[in-house]
Amino acid sequence: MGRRKNNQTSMSFNNIQHQATKIRFNDDDDDEDSSNLDDSIVATEKAIAVDDVTMSEPDVSFVDGGDDDKTSADYYFDSYSHFGIHEIWNSERNRGVDCVSMLILPSVDVFLLILTMQEMLKDVVRTKTYQNVIYQNKFLFKDKVVLDVGAGTGILSLFCAKAGAAHVYAVECSHMANMAKEIVESNGFSNVITVLKGKIEDIELPVAKVDIIISEWMGYFLLFENMLNTVLYTRDKWLVNDGIVLPDKASLYLTAIEDAEYKEDKIEFWNNVYGFDMTCIKKQAMGEPLVDTVDQNQIVTNCQLLKTMDISKMASGDTSFTAPFKLIAERDDYIHALVAYFDVSFTKCHKLMGFSTGPRSRATHWKQTVLYLEDVLTICQGEALSGSMTVAPNKKNPRDIDIMIKYSLNGRRCVASRTQHYRMR
């Protein structure tokens, strides 16, 4: 899972802040405009979806053999084997960054954890939406017991405490839990917020049940890192019968883009490297989805609703699914990649609230997920690119995602049909 080098926010050790940090909102508690509730989320129930989205639990991992068996856990210890690291290494070294020291410093995990937390907090679309959901719906939280899953710095717990929650249990398994305790104490909420360090599956709460579960569980491509299953486990074990999960709806979308310049520069590059064939690296590059911000002007087709998840009702197995798609070209153009993004919504609020990570919405740290196609498709306005997407957790490392796309185009200028496999790691 790479990011574009020419994106100013991509994988820089000294500058990891996302462009969304440039967005500024009024900080009043009653600011409703900061929520990224665009037409795509208002129209979630009206979105044109292909009938009969079929649920399945694939029996095999989609990518087999050789280095393709590597997961994100392998890359943690063997990051130099990732095709993108060479370009990143050189660019960072040219900027004066001591990359060798970065890899061997004992504190690098904490350093990266802090940068990650800062990036998420500075994603104002994300953070302000949660803040507004809580502050503008205090009737949901007043005198309630709240469980914050994956609390991080404890920012959501602090919002809930300020909104009148009777007590908040903030569960965080990383070293950030220690800092969260200090943050809670520094802000005078020690009597309302209890920080618990550990995995939610391993801890015991001091209470039998909670009234509300709140979590920012979404990963890239919505499901990367598999935190949704942790929320579902928590729901089944700790939530009262009429309890609330926030957010409670999430929808995954797909569209297609023209992206000749990037694909030529970063993918086709490996065909001929100073006269040598390095297409084995191209194969790996094609098989790893790219996380990046897509220009809305690159969009060639409509946006297709693939899957809506009701977090309050779904089962853990529902994160594996197969969904058909039919993307209709809105102009004559080329298609180089498919792009996935997601919306989340909070339907239990007095007024529907939520945000979108789509290319036509305000940028977030989730950006979009780009899946490059082996074929360059020539499509004419009104023609349809049809197929299906199968998604399942990787069997070796459930935090990773295996994706299989089948697509076909039977157009006036192009006829193509192919199955491609991807692994998000």
Measure the CA–CA gap between 262 and 138, rounded to whole angstroms: 46
CATH number of 25-424: 2.70.160.11
pLDDT at residue 231, as a whole number? 97
- pTM for this structure? 0.79
Establish whether 225 is a catalytic residue.
yes
The residues, ordered by sequence, that sit 6+ positions from 374 with a Cβ below 8 Å of its Cβ are 286, 418, 420
pLDDT at residue 208, as a whole number? 96
Q: What is the pLDDT of residues 201-224, one digit of tens each?
A: 999 999 999 999 999 999 999 999
Question: In Å, what is the CA distance from 291 to each residue of 214, 224, 230, 321, 422?
Answer: 26, 11, 23, 21, 13
pLDDT at residue 226, as a whole number? 86
pLDDT beneath 50: ranges in the chain: 2-35, 38-66, 75-95, 97-106
pLDDT at residue 251, as a whole number? 98
Measure the CA–CA gap between 252 and 347, rounded to whole angstroms: 17
pLDDT at residue 68, as a whole number? 58
Establish whether 383 is a catalytic residue.
no
Measure the CA–CA gap between 193 and 40, rounded to whole angstroms: 35
| Block residue for tokens 């462009």 | 19
322 has which bridge partners?
Answer: 390
Catalytic residue among 92, 172, 225, 258: 225
Measure the CA–CA gap between 155 and 340, rounded to whole angstroms: 28
Catalytic residue among 87, 92, 201, 216: 216
DSSP readout, 104-164?
A: H-TTHHHHHHHHHHHHHHH-HHHHHHHHHHHHTTHHHHTT-EEEEET-TTSHHHHHHHHTT
359 has which bridge partners?
Answer: none
pLDDT at residue 113, as a whole number? 76
